[in-house]
Structure 1
Amino acid sequence: MLEFKQVSKQYSDGTTAVKNLNLKINKGEFVCFIGPSGCGKTTTMKMVNRLIDITEGAVLVDDKDIKEQDAVELRRSMGYVIQQIGLMPHMTIKENIVLVGTLLKWPKEKKDERARELLKLVDMPEEYLDRYPHELSGGQQQRIGVLRALAVNPPLILMDEPFGALDPITRDSLQEEFKKLQKELNKTIIFVTHDMDEALKLADKVVIMRDGEVVQADTPDEILRNPANEFVEEFLGRDRLIQGRPDVTTVGQIMEGFPVTVPTGTTLKSAISTMRDRHVDSLLVVDSDNVLQGYIDIELINLNYKKANMVDDAMETDVFSVSGESLLRDTVHKILRRGAKYVPVVDDTHHLEGIVTRATLANLVYDTIWGDGMELDDKVTAAE
């Protein structure tokens, strides 16, 4: 799909930004470029759509040398998303989404249909099409920026720190949303970031650069298990949980399989009895098909006890959940960031599969540091 052949970029002042880069990226692959400031990652990405010209070597897209293509047509054939979003403030959301389609002289019917189709991908209501960028939140604007990049159905999308300016929770949500979209649509993504957690979460392949050269390019798990050198180790950060336990990588490997639940239609009085009998202060609420509907806890019961009789009327339906395939390192960060006591684990159709609690994570950390406890016992014995 995309290949760099001995690509170098040298500026007129003699600065070499990229040195003899050789790299192959397959169709449908999500590749994150990361490294310290000035390492050449953004320059590398911008050479792909000729925003920056190559000094030596060749970049091939589907075996065609980009230098032999018209630069404007080349850019229109690729999606491009940047941190600043770049929505046109005087245009409606619909007009922003189909901007490239307008440049390509699409008929109005085609533009309207494509805008509606894309908005559904990110679960935004159709009435947003007639709004203007200033009427949307930062996260919603960034969603529109992503949709605009998808509008002409490009096989290749370039993304330059697109989520960097967002708050952590919105950023988490958008990362998950976009990764899911990428898998569904089978797009090839070149993604530049300075955030190692983001790269490890999103990428099929992580390309770590330093001083214009690739230091290591491999899957996230392989890089974490076998960093190429001390620079990669330091750049990853020695505190990453996965480095201590390379055998434990996903939520499904550590989740508890039988969380305490109550079905919809349960009375608050019965829910309180269940909490007392099971020694918990929170319950997950599921329907008759075991689809997660929400949760109820002591605080919600206290707030609603006089005005509600059923858990359906008192439960919180906005529940943060993860899939069994979610990377453990991401879930740890999210639990800590949200201050959550636990996270439900669901499948693709939101059926409840299990739960990950802070206690589970604490046990994993203890195992990582002290193994099965024997090492600690030995040290105590030695001290005595």
Structure 2
Amino acid sequence: MLKFDHVSKVYKGGKKAVNDLNLEFNKGEFIVFIGPSGCGKTTTMKMINRLIEPSEGTIYINNEDIMKKDPVKLRREIGYVIQQIGLFPHMTIQENISLVLKLLKWPEEKRKARAKELLSLVDMTPDYLDRYPHELSGGQQQRIGVLRALAADQPLILMDEPFGALDPITRDSLQDEFKKLQKKLGKTIVFVTHDMDEALKLADKIVILRGGQLVQCGTPDEILREPANEFVEEFIGKERLVQAKPNITTVEQIMNPRPITIMSGQSLTEAITLMKQHRVDSLLVVDENHVLEGYIDVETIDQNRKKARLVGDVILPDTFAVEKNALVRDTIRQILKKGMKYVPVTDENNRLVGIVTRTSLVDIVYDSIWGDEAAAE
């Protein structure tokens, strides 16, 4: 889908920003370019849509040499998202999302329908279409910037530190949202970041650059388990190299497949009985199809016991969950960062299939840190 064949960029004075880059990526891959400042990652990305033109070598998109295409036509076929999202303040959200579609001469009704469809992908309602950028939060504006890049259904999207200016909580949530969106839509993404946690979380392939040279290219697990040299080890950070057992990678492998649950139509008395019986202080709430709806805990029941009777009256809907194929290392990071006791595990249809607790992670973390020492004793 995307290929760099001996690509270099030389500026005036002979400075090589990118030197003899050879890379090849498949359709639908999430590719993250990372490295220290001045390593050539943004230059490499900008060469793909010819905002910067290569000095040597060839870049191919779907086996077609990009230098043989009209640059304006090329850019319209590639989505582009930057950190300073650049929404037009005098345009509505609908007009911002469908800007490229207007250039492509899509009719008004079709543009509106596409904008509405895209909003639903990020759980934003159609009433946002008539709002203006200043009426949205930073995270919402960033979502609109991403949707604008997706509007014309281009197969390739370039993203230059798109979440860098956001606060950590919004950034974390947008990363999760965007990764799910990318998998669902099957887009090929080229993503530039300086944040190794972000790269490990999002990437199918990570490209590490230094001084314009390719240092290592591989999956997150390949790079974590077999860093190419000391520079990669230091850049990743020693604490990230502490990995779980090699044969344990996904949440499904370590979850408890029988979490304690209750339904919203059951009484608070039943909830308390269930908690006592299983010695827990909270319960996950599911519907008749086992879709996760939220949770309840002892404290909430205690605060509402005089005015509420059913679980559905006191349910707490904001439940952070992970999908069963999520990586263990990402889940450990989320549990530690958010200070959670447990994380529900769902399938692709949000049905509850298990639970990961802090306790269930203890053996893995201990084995990761002290396993070799213990074996040697």
State the TM-score bracket (shorter-chain normalisation).
Answer: over 0.9
Matched with 2:87 is: 87
1:297-348 per-position Cα deviation (integer Å, ceiling 9, x unaligned): 1111122111101111012011110111111111122112222111101111
Q: 2:361 aligns to what? A: 361
Match of 2:78 in 1: 78
Deviation at 1:375, TM superposition (A): 4.9
Contact 2:224–2:241, Cα closer than 8 Å, also in 1: no
Structure 2 Cα separation of the partners of residues 315 and 124 of structure 1:
23
Could you say what secondary structure the match of 2:243 adopts? helix
Report Cα offsets for 1:114-134 as digits up to 9, x if no partner. Answer: 111211221210010000011
Distance 2:369 2:179 in 1: 32
Distance 1:67 1:42 in 2: 19
Question: What is the distance in 2 between the residues matched to 1:105 and 1:123?
Answer: 27
List gaps (5 residues or longer) in structure 2.
none
Give the TM-score, by structure 2 length.
0.96
Write out aligned runs for 1:212-361 (5 A): 212-240=212-240, 243-361=243-361
Kindly provide the CA deviation profile for residues 237-263 of structure 1, in whole angstroms up to 9, marking residues without a partner as x: 221266353222111111112222222
Q: CA deviation at 1:373?
A: 9.2
Indicate yes or no: 2:161 matched with 1:157: no
- For 1:51, what is the secondary structure of its paired residue? coil
Q: Is the 8 A contact 2:283 2:297 kept in 1?
A: yes
Q: Measure the CA separation in 2 of the matches of 1:122 and 1:163.
A: 15
| Worse overlay, 254-263 or 362-371 | 362-371
In the superposition, the TM-score normalised over structure 1's length comes to: 0.94
Give me the whole-angstrom Cα distance separating, in 2, the residues matched to 1:33 and 1:282: 42
Aligned AA (1:179): K
Is 1:100 equivalent to 2:94 in the alignment?
no
**1:263 corresponds to which letter in structure 2?**
M
> Over aligned residue pairs, what C-alpha RMSD do you find?
1.7
What letter is aligned with 2:304?
N
| Contact 1:242/1:249, CA 8 A, preserved across alignment | no
- Residue 55 (structure 2) pairs with residue 66 (structure 1): no
Residue identity matched to 2:300: L
Q: Is the 8 A contact 1:242 1:248 kept in 2?
A: no
Q: What code does the residue aligned with 2:129 have?
A: L
Q: Is the 8 A contact 2:242 2:368 kept in 1?
A: no
| Structure 2 residue identity aligned to 1:107 | P
AA at the equivalent of 2:273: S
Of residues 358-367 and 39-48 in structure 1, the stretch that sits farther from structure 2 once superposed is 358-367
In 1, distance between residues paired with 2:44 and 2:184?
Answer: 26
Structure 2 CA distance for partners of 1:274 and 1:119, relative to 1, 3 Å: same
- Where 2:238 maps in the other structure, the secondary structure is coil
Contact map agreement 1:241 1:329 (CA 8 A) in 2: no
CA distance in 2, matches of 1:61, 1:351: 38
Contact preservation (8 Å) 2:251, 2:356: yes
Q: How many residues align?
A: 377
In structure 1, runs of 5+ residues without a counterpart are: 379-384
CA distance in 2, matches of 1:31, 1:22: 14
Residues 196-211 of structure 1: matches in 2 within 5 Å? 196-211=196-211
SS of the residue corresponding to residue 361 of structure 2 reads helix
Q: Does the 8 Å contact 2:249/2:328 carry over to 1?
A: yes
2:21 paired residue number: 21
Q: Is the 8 A contact 1:161 1:193 kept in 2?
A: yes
Task: Measure the CA separation in 2 of the matches of 1:50 and 1:361.
Answer: 47
SS of the aligned residue for 1:23 comes to strand
Match of 1:382 in 2: none
Distance 1:284 1:241, change over 3 A: farther
Distance in 2 (CA, whole Å) between partners of 1:177 and 1:331 is: 15
Distance apart, 1:108 and its partner CA: 1.1
Separation in structure 1 between the aligned mates of residue 158 and residue 295 of structure 2, nearest angstrom = 39
AA in 2 matched with 1:175: Q
**Residue deviations 1:178-232 (CA, integer Å, cap 9, x gap):** 1222122221111111111211221111111111011111111111221111211
Secondary structure of 1:106's counterpart equals coil
Aligned mates of 2:242, 2:79 — CA distance in 1: 33
* In structure 1, C-alpha distance between the alignment counterparts of 2:33 and 2:279, rounded to whole Å: 47
Q: 1:142 to 1:313 in 2, by over 3 A?
A: same
1:194 match:
194
